[in-house]
Structure 1
Amino acid sequence: MHWLLSGSLSVETLTVNIQDLPASLKGTKLVQMSDLHYDGLRLSEEMLEKAIATSNEAEPDLVILTGDYVTDDPTPIHKLVLQLKNLQSRAGIYAVLGNHDIYYHRSKAEITDALTSIGIAVLWNEIAYPLGEELPLVGLADYWSREFHPASVMNQLDPAKPRIVLSHNPDTAEFLKQWRVDLQLSGHSHGGQLVLPGVGPVVVYYKQLIDKIPKRVRRRIPFLKGSLAKVMRHWEWAQGFHYVGTNQLYVNRGLGTYPPGRLFCPPEVTIITLQG
């Protein structure tokens, strides 16, 4: 997609406090990228290369990818991994899948195989320990899949230990409130894509705005025909850092873009530093 409809890459940096974080892990640096939608239209090669270079320059301990690597056809994943293999990280690269990554019956296996072929660990209702036993990394099945059963994973964890949870769809934070989640990393929303400075994502006010547009006009505009409630319920979590109960959630705006493009909502690479 042309940069005018996407915007320049933005690098977001934040520090997140993790209760009971071991002293040896204080200062741990994570890089998160999400929603690449690599299909030849929604993400330029230049943007992708810049995002990878930005990640490498940060010298992260861990790189996190939070889903939607393709849009529908999984075939472009084979070209995408040729770029993603350039990512560098001390403790590895970990990923979860998004709803677009399971679009076709074959998609999940094809995308998982392509990512693992370059050393990216794909977590699907699994727990990994790239930073040691004291900070588990949980990767959940996509919320829209039939295999989204967080209890089967979360109940395996010691409640006294901090943990990071990867879940593509921020709506899952509502379900995860019954467990300890020191940091949930999500994507899916593209930040709302259309943002009014000082107001926030337009989608938060979508229903109020749409009701003022005549139905005959709405029917002619694809972006207005569908229900955004089907995409996500909690649009108030469309981007950035949030508390959900006592849990902490960060939502990455993603790199890829859908028509009609982005407005004051640039593509994002996130650099997160953990502190106790």
Structure 2
Amino acid sequence: MKSLKYILLSLLGVASLLAIWGLVEPYFIDTEEEVAEIPNLPDAWEGQRVAVIADWQIGMWLGNTNTIRRVVDQLIQERPALVLIAGDFIYHADKGNDNEIGKAVELVRPLVAAGIPTYGVLGNHDYAMDAKTAPPNEQIAGELYAALEQAGVDMLQNEAVSLVPPANQQPTGEDSLYLVGIGSRWANKDNPAIALSQIPQTAPRLVMMHHPDSFEKFPANTAPLAVAGHTHGGQVRLPFLPQWSWMTFVREDKVHVDGWIEASYGQPGNRLYVNRGIGFSIAPIRINCPPEVTLFRLREAS
């Protein structure tokens, strides 16, 4: 019986330490530096950096807003050519948290003020959807979209825009690099075909979406670099086995939660990277899954 007691006490001690660490880890920022190869990349974009962040979840209890501020400060110091924010700015603004939209604007405004081109798409929580079956709140999403646009963030929903190269060189014709932004999947707003119809077939492009499952809708060779969020990297993952998270055990379908996704997912010539995000869902903890800033260095595909 003593042995069983010691085992139970040990397990309780380990669980307590993990819980404490889970509350601490969200304040450690992990910067992942990656190389992304894009066919026909214009010379003006060779070697330039693109930052990706996601899932602020403002309004979540014990939300990680201090870390968001530190991430924004870091990006202002890093000065990438672009900052892409892959959705879920807010958590659930229709449940009495009237200041969520204002807080999102406050947090993003320094990026715009620093002169860093900043783009975004909406996620499911931006429509007040915490489940696939929840009805999308179009009013909340519209208010958030408009507020971010007014603050200087270029918001995209199934749209493609020609990006101005660094040093303000004007893009012309084949020298243009495009950004494709896709709408929220859970809100039934993701339509890559509409966005892709707005750019030349062989034009170089980046693709941003909130939900990784939208990636499957892209035809072959149309998304050489696609980025997404939504998963929070699993949020709680087994030490030394980051591919195993709580999502692995509660979902029957294959989970695409973190980093470069295997080549078998999506169509040939397309490549997806999933950012772990900054905030939380359900519980304000992260274990073996720190908040992520991704910095992509662009290269011409060989």
TM above 0.5: yes
Does structure 1 residue 64 correspond to structure 2 residue 84?
yes
Q: Matches of residues 30-49 of structure 1 in structure 2 within 5 Å?
A: 30-39=50-59, 41-49=61-69
Deviations 1:228-269 (A, max 9, x none): 45xxx441x211113443211111100002316211000111
Matched with 1:182 is 224
**For residue 150 of structure 2, what is the aligned residue in structure 1?**
117
SS at match of 2:126: helix
Match for residue 108 of structure 2 among 84, 91, 114:
84
Amino acid at match of 1:96: V
Shift in Å, 1:32: 1.1
Identity across the alignment (%): 28
Distance of aligned partners of 1:67 and 1:205 in 2 relative to their CA distance in 1, 3 Å threshold: closer
Among residues 101, 121, 143, which one is paired with 1:96 in the alignment? 121
TM superposition shift of 1:145: 2.0
Q: Any idea what the Cα deviations from partners look like across 1:137-175, whole Å, max 9, x if unmatched?
A: 111111122332221221333221121111100111112
Q: Is residue 2:214 matched to residue 1:172?
A: yes
Q: Taking structure 1 as reference, are residues 180 and 150 closer, same or farther at Cα in structure 2, changes over 3 Å only?
A: same
Residue 150 of structure 1, aligned match among 192, 216, 234: 192
1:32-87 deviation line (CA, Å, top 9, x unaligned): 11000011525333212111111111111111110001111163111221121011
Does the CA-based 8 Å contact 2:231-2:257 persist in structure 1? yes
What RMSD in Å do the two structures reach over aligned CA positions? 2.3
Residues 178 and 206 of structure 2 are in contact (CA less than 8 Å); yes or no, is this contact kept in structure 1? yes
Q: Go from structure 1 to structure 2 and tell me whether the alpha carbon gap of 1:240 and 1:246 turns closer, same or farther (over 3 Å shift).
A: same
Aligned pair 1:21/2:41, yes or no? yes
Question: Which of 151, 154, 161 is the matching residue for 2:203?
Answer: 161
Local SS of the residue matching 1:171: helix
Give structure 1 stretches of 5+ with no counterpart.
Answer: 208-226
Tell me if structure 1 keeps the 8 A contact 2:64–2:278: no
Partner SS for 1:106: helix
3-state SS of 2:226 partner: strand
In 2 relative to 1, CA 10–16 (structure 1 residues): closer, same or farther, beyond 3 Å? same
CA contact (8 A) 1:18 1:275 kept: yes
Find runs of 4+ consecutive structure 1 residues off by over 4 angstroms.
Answer: 88-91
Distance 1:164 1:42, change over 3 A: farther
| CA shift in 2, pair 1:70/1:205, >3 Å | closer
SS at match of 1:55: helix
2:285 is the counterpart of 1:251 = no
Unaligned runs of 5+ in 2: 1-19, 129-136, 165-170
| Compared CA separation, residues 204 and 49, structure 1 to 2 (3 A) | closer
Alpha-carbon distance change, 44 to 92 in structure 1, aligned in 2, over 3 angstroms = same
Which residue number corresponds to residue 201 of structure 1?
243
Partner of 1:262: 286
Query: What is the DSSP-based 3-state SS (H/G/I as helix, E as strand, rest coil) of the residue aligned with 2:103?
Result: helix
Amino acid at match of 1:86: P
Structure 2 CA distance for partners of 1:205 and 1:93, relative to 1, 3 Å: closer
Q: TM-score, normalised by structure 1?
A: 0.84
Alignment CA distance shift 1:206-1:62 (3 Å):
closer
Distance 1:52 1:148 in 2: 27
Letter in 2 for 1:175: K
Amino acid at match of 2:279: G
**Residue 271 (structure 1) aligned with residue 295 (structure 2):** yes
**In the aligned structure 1, how far is the partner of 2:270 from the partner of 2:214?**
12
Deviates more, 1:103-112 or 1:116-125: 103-112
Judge conservation of contact 2:62–2:284 (CA < 8 Å) in 1.
Answer: no
> What whole-Å deviation, never above 9, does each CA across 1:212-243 have from its counterpart, x for those lacking one?
xxxxxxxxxxxxxxx545xxx441x2111134
Q: State the secondary structure of the residue aligned to 2:119.
A: strand
Which SS does the other structure have where 2:51 is aligned? strand
- Provide Cα deviations, 1:171-212, integer angstroms capped at 9, x if missing partner: 1111214451121110000001122233223348734xxxxx
Contact between 2:86 and 2:229, CA under 8 Å: does it hold in 1? yes
